[in-house]
């Protein structure tokens, strides 16, 4: 009964999860998920749609069209959603023969040569690293992700881009809290004002903003050290930068439809349709599966011990022994199949 029902319960739980559009790569991840008390989320592409739109431009010494042109040239080779929004806002055509020396600067932005002039497009850290001053420049008034643009060491302006929150995310956060998650954490490279705005709307407990890719791993390491020994931490992300964090977390969950291949490969659980609400479903399936396993263990051992004691006292016959062996195994199998229903 024990040998058959325990793995069968986990197989049934994995099967039930797959029916709900949740791919679990192993029974151990299902068990760890059921113990989760901390849920960590990446923001862009996970909690938000990753569909950005330019909502404000603040040019400094050039026209807004020229500012968008510089940004479009800088982001031309990038396939990031932010880059797509810049290229969509720029009404002109990028001439590839004017571009040279494309370089991605991890966690900060992009550097290109346009007609021999160095163009920088990225966050404030990028400009600070080159000691480019923004003194006296107009500041953005709208909340969003801000890209700063510089040409030949001179500040040219900034572009504010806003992202939409995914449908149902707020309900998903509320659901996982009801399931037993004590602390919901959001990690993002965005400005603190943007992150706080999203967190307030979604009901997120802890916000860690303005992070570089390596900082996300450090934050998860810190949370792992601070959590209780008998609880686990889950991380949900979709981008290539999330792969190291997905591997470091106790359970890594990736978005399957829009997620990067590296994130899907590194994750332990994959949400096929990118619905964050499925995290609460996966959590509930995991808890149910572990309960069924515990029920089978207690039931199988209890019946066998009782029949052995009765047999030693002369009260149990052969049919009682048959029930304690074959009958208990059969009932444990029937109980294990309950996990097939999400």
- pLDDT (mean) for 109-130: 91
pLDDT at 260 over 80: no
- pLDDT (mean) for 109-135: 91
Residues 14-54 pLDDT 10s: 999 999 999 999 999 999 999 999 999 998 878 888 778 89
Strands 269-271, 117-122: pairing kind = unpaired
Q: Which residue has the tokens 């790569």?
A: 25
pLDDT for the residue numbered 163:
80
pLDDT band of residue 330 (cuts 50, 70, 90) is very high
pLDDT band of residue 197 (cuts 50, 70, 90) is confident
pLDDT at 136 over 80: yes
DSSP 32-65: HHTTEEEEEEEIIIIIEEEEEEEEEEEESSS-HH
Separation of alpha carbons 95 and 227, rounded Å: 53
Neighbours of 19 (CB within 10 A): 11
The catalytic site residues sit at 42
pLDDT: which is higher, 12 or 240? 12
pLDDT band of residue 191 (cuts 50, 70, 90) is confident
pLDDT for the residue numbered 234:
94
Q: How is residue 186 written in tokens? A: 């959001």
pLDDT band of residue 257 (cuts 50, 70, 90) is low
pLDDT band of residue 142 (cuts 50, 70, 90) is confident
How many helices (H) and strands (E) in the chain?
A: 13, 13
Separation of alpha carbons 119 and 133, rounded Å: 15
The DSSP element (H or E) to which 184 belongs, if any, is strand 183-187
**SS3 per residue for 114-145:** ECCEEEEEECHHHHHHCCCCCCCCCCCCCCCE
Sheet with 232-237, strands from edge to edge, namely: 22-24, 269-271, 251-255, 232-237, 36-42, 183-187, 206-208
Separation of alpha carbons 301 and 290, rounded Å: 17
Asked which of 213-227, 247-261, 264-278 is least confident by mean pLDDT, the reply is 247-261
pLDDT: which is higher, 41 or 80? 41
DSSP 267-310: -SEEETT--TTHHHHHHHHHHHHHHHHHHHHHHHHHHHHHHHHH
Separation of alpha carbons 43 and 50, rounded Å: 9
Separation of alpha carbons 338 and 333, rounded Å: 9
Averaging pLDDT over each range in 9-18, 100-109, 127-136, 251-260, which range is the top one? 9-18
Stated length of the chain: 342
Residues 61-72 pLDDT 10s: 899 999 999 999
pLDDT for the residue numbered 258:
60
pLDDT for the residue numbered 44:
81
pLDDT for the residue numbered 259:
57
Separation of alpha carbons 181 and 186, rounded Å: 14
pLDDT for the residue numbered 40:
95
Q: Give 231's DSSP letter.
A: -
Mean pLDDT of the chain: 89
């Amino acid at each position: 009964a024990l040998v058959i029902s325990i793995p069968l319960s986990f197989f049934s739980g994995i099967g039930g999860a797959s029916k709900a559009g949740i791919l679990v790569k192993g029974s151990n991840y299902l068990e760890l998920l059921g113990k989760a008390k901390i849920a960590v989320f990446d923001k862009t592409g996970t909690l938000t749609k990753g569909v950005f739109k330019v909502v404000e431009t603040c040019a400094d010494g050039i026209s807004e069209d020229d500012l968008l042109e510089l940004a479009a040239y800088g982001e031309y080779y990038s396939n990031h959603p932010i880059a797509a929004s810049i290229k969509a806002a720029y009404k002109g055509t990028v001439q590839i023969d004017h571009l040279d020396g494309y370089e991605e600067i991890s966690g900060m932005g992009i550097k290109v040569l346009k007609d021999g002039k160095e163009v920088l497009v990225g966050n404030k850290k990028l400009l600070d690293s080159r000691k480019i001053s923004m003194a006296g420049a107009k500041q953005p008034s709208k909340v969003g992700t801000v890209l700063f643009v510089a040409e030949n060491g001179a500040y040219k302006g900034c572009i504010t881009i806003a992202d939409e929150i995914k449908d149902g995310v707020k309900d998903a956060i509320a659901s996982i809290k009801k399931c037993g998650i004590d602390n919901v954490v959001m990690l993002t490279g965005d400005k603190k004002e943007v992150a706080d705005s999203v967190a307030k709307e979604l009901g997120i407990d802890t916000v860690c903003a303005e992070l570089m890719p390596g900082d996300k791993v450090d934050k998860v390491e810190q949370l792992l050290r601070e959590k209780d020994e008998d609880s686990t931490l889950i991380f949900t992300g979709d981008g290539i930068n999330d792969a190291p964090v997905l591997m470091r977390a106790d359970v890594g969950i990736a978005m399957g439809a829009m997620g990067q291949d590296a994130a899907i490969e590194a994750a332990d659980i994959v949400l096929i349709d990118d619905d964050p609400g499925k995290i609460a479903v996966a959590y509930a399936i995991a808890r149910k599966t572990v309960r069924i396993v515990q029920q089978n263990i207690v039931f199988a051992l209890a019946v066998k011990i009782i029949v052995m004691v009765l047999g030693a006292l002369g009260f149990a016959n052969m049919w009682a022994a048959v029930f304690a062996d074959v009958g208990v195994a059969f009932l444990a199998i029937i109980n294990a199949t309950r996990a097939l229903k999400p």
